[in-house]
Structure 1
Amino acid sequence: MTDARLRSDQILEPLDREAELDRLAEKLRDASGVGLQLLNMVGTQAENLIDMLPQTVRGGLERATAAALEQSFRAAAASRGRVADTSDWLTRAITLGTGAAGGFGGLASALAELPVTTTIILRAIQGIADEHGFDPAKPEVRAACLKVFAAAGPLDDDDGSDLSFITLRLSVTGPALSGMIAKIAPRLAVPLGQKLAAQAVPVLGLAAGAATNYVFTSYYQEMARVQFGLMRLAEQEDEPLEHLVHDLKKRLL
């Protein structure tokens, strides 16, 4: 079971537990491989990307990430009911454009573009929550949407088995937003630092910016589908989310 409940006004087809876990395992494998072409494009390893950033930027990464998350959380929530959910390909096309614009001007424009792209991705995550039967207007679902950003980034070289973000507990009472962001920002700062560095690659800036955003958008969309797929299955089966995460991990071995 999860803290978030499925919407009562939405009828969803029942899932086959084992088949759904197999499907989600395949999504994880796909998501963990989306960054390889980008790394080939910029000609470096993921662990070297952040070292390419100026020390002043590296030192302020977590603060910049927290600011981007806070802006994005408010803007994405405010857009629901005003702007319709878009398809995966359209969302990726939009962020491809913002990434190209961010990469065109180097590091300065990439930093300015960061909250814009984060908002678009978070808005897409909210749409994915809705497609799985969860109401993004509810505080616990909004927290779950933000939690997707705690996943290891697309340039991480793990096998997709780090699913700790799915069972991360976030408070949705009291000073909820600042508390959630304080937990997520340190995790997201590393992949966003890699994104900024890739966008700032000399000569390749515009192309690398577009490719980086495409990779990041695709990755977090897939991770959102894994998270909300597991949450939906937990509700249907009346089973602890931790049990499903354990069974999913076994499929990745």
Structure 2
Amino acid sequence: MDETRERPQVSREMVTIDNDHELMALARRHRRAGGVGLQVLNVIGSQAENLLERLPDRVKTRLESATLRALEAAMAAAQQSRGVVPDQRGWLNTALTTAMGAAGGAGGLPTALAELPVTTTVLLRAIQGVAWEHGYDPADPEIAKECLAVFGSAGPLEADDGVDMAFLSARITLTGATVHGIMARVAPRLATVLGQKLAAQTVPVLGAAAGAATNYAYTSYYQEMAAVHFGLKRLAERAGRPRDEVVADFRAALTRA
């Protein structure tokens, strides 16, 4: 009888230890994702805060609306492609966008702008693939919104350690929101991120290299952040706890990672 009563307690302890290990693993992924951007800055030889100044004023004023249109096109294209092209491994997504970045950067701003919606589509498709790996169907409207919410995370060129991680608690903010509403909310943040990318690709001589480097960073970053996002979602569901509590534990784990 005593042994029977003790087993649930041991089981709970084992689950807690397992959850702690998973939280630490996710925290390390988050740290690793943020480190890629700094490597890219070294490659292109610029400071992140100065990159946007490289863009012409006409491009900067239209960037947010262009990003919203790119997101809308990316959502449609990424969803339709799932029935034709299977999800690819992370390294293949990264290789594809890196090659596209090199091609887009080689022609300067015009080709970089033309490449923008294609890269956005591949990035979104990569995020959807991570959701699928964690057991979620990207065709589900709620999961589609969560995939878009990943774009609300700080970009890979964000140097501030106190990055806004509100996207991790997306379930709270996405309730009742439409897909288009989420696009409108993440477009300003993504516009800044993609603006940095476009600006990097206009660096004289280094256009192709900068395009490849930034696309490598962006694809690696968003795949890692998607893994953190959906990993925490799955962890909360498995533990039967509110996601905001699990995110709070994750924030604490970040200080130890």
1:50 counterpart = 2:13: no
Instruction: Return the letter of the residue paired with 1:224.
Output: A
The residue aligned with 1:155 is 157
Partner Cα separation in structure 2 for residue 20 and residue 172 of structure 1: 30
CA offsets per residue over residues 212-238 of structure 1, 9 Å max, x none? 100000000000000000000011111
Instruction: Return the letter of the residue paired with 2:35.
Output: G
Question: Unaligned regions of 5+ residues in structure 1, if any?
Answer: 1-13
Question: Unaligned regions of 5+ residues in structure 2, if any?
Answer: 1-14
Shift of residue 29, structure 1, vs aligned partner: 0.5
Q: Is the 8 A contact 2:67 2:190 kept in 1?
A: yes
Partner Cα separation in structure 2 for residue 196 and residue 250 of structure 1: 35
Shift of residue 172, structure 1, vs aligned partner: 5.7
The residue aligned with 1:166 is 168
The residue aligned with 2:247 is 245
Matches within 5 A, 1:25-104: 25-104=27-106
Matches within 5 A, 1:217-228: 217-228=219-230
The residue aligned with 2:23 is 21
Quick one: which of 174, 183, 200 aligns to 1:181? 183
1:108 counterpart = 2:110: yes
Secondary structure of 1:203 counterpart: coil
Q: Which has the larger radius of gyration?
A: 2
CA offsets per residue over residues 1-58 of structure 1, 9 Å max, x none? xxxxxxxxxxxxx892111100000001100110112212222211110011111111
Q: Which runs of 4+ in 1 moved over 4 A?
A: none
Q: Is the 8 A contact 1:149 1:188 kept in 2?
A: yes
More deviation in 37-46 or 157-166? 157-166
Q: Percent identity, aligned pairs only? A: 57
Instruction: Return the letter of the residue paired with 1:26.
Output: R
**TM-score of the superposed pair, with normalisation by structure 1:** 0.90
Shift of residue 177, structure 1, vs aligned partner: 3.0
**TM-score of the superposed pair, with normalisation by structure 2:** 0.89
The residue aligned with 2:217 is 215
Partner Cα separation in structure 1 for residue 180 and residue 126 of structure 2: 22
Q: Number of paired residues?
A: 238
Shift of residue 160, structure 1, vs aligned partner: 6.2
